[in-house]
Amino acid sequence: QRRSLTLSPGRAALAQAGDRAGLGEFPWQVSLTHSGQHQCGGSLISHVWIVTGARCVSNSVQVGLVDLKGQKVSHEVGKIICHEDYEPLSSRADIALLQLRIPVKFSNSVSAVCFPDNNFLDPQEIQNCWVSGWSLLSEGERERET
């Protein structure tokens, strides 16, 4: 889903509204699955590494998806590295790296996040950004398949 973010001083960013993403629009977006079911999202940062929340770690990852009901090819996770200060109850340091056993092949619909160089962004001047993933748009709503 494509959404706008609203930032308020002292508050977390909130995702609002949303649009269906096209194939290849967010080629780094991955689905972390348990028993074939989507559980969390992550971002491909290289041919073998994915960054996600520590609460989301999984042994199976699907890449190149827009529609969660579409054809799925699973990639096996070989190594999981959670932040050493991760605290599940408080979500402190909620970050993890997953290393795939076999590198994914990059294509129009699968590639790593494009990181800017250190001189490109001044965090004080950022006005807009994009967030991708599958999630609930409101409390009680079922998860979107696209």
Give all domains of the chain, ordered by start, each with its CATH number: 29-108 (2.40.10.10)
Q: Please name the residue that has the structure tokens 């092949």.
A: 105
The CA radius of gyration of the chain, in Å to the nearest whole number, is 16
The pLDDT of 93-97, averaged and rounded, is 95
Average pLDDT, the chain: 80
**What is the tens place of the pLDDT at every residue in 4-47?**
444 444 445 555 566 778 888 899 999 999 888 889 999 999 99
Q: What is the pLDDT of residue 125?
A: 73
Q: Quickly state the pLDDT bin for 117 (edges 50, 70, 90).
A: confident
Q: What is the phi-psi region of residue 138: left when phi exceeds 0, alpha when psi lies from -120 to 50, beta otherwise? A: beta
pLDDT at position 136 is 56
**DSSP reduced 3-state for 84:** coil
Best CA proximity match to 100, nearest among 52, 61, 43: 61
pLDDT tens, position by position, 75-85: 999 999 999 99
Please compute the mean of the pLDDT values over residues 91-115 and round it to a whole number: 94
What is the model's pLDDT at position 146? 44
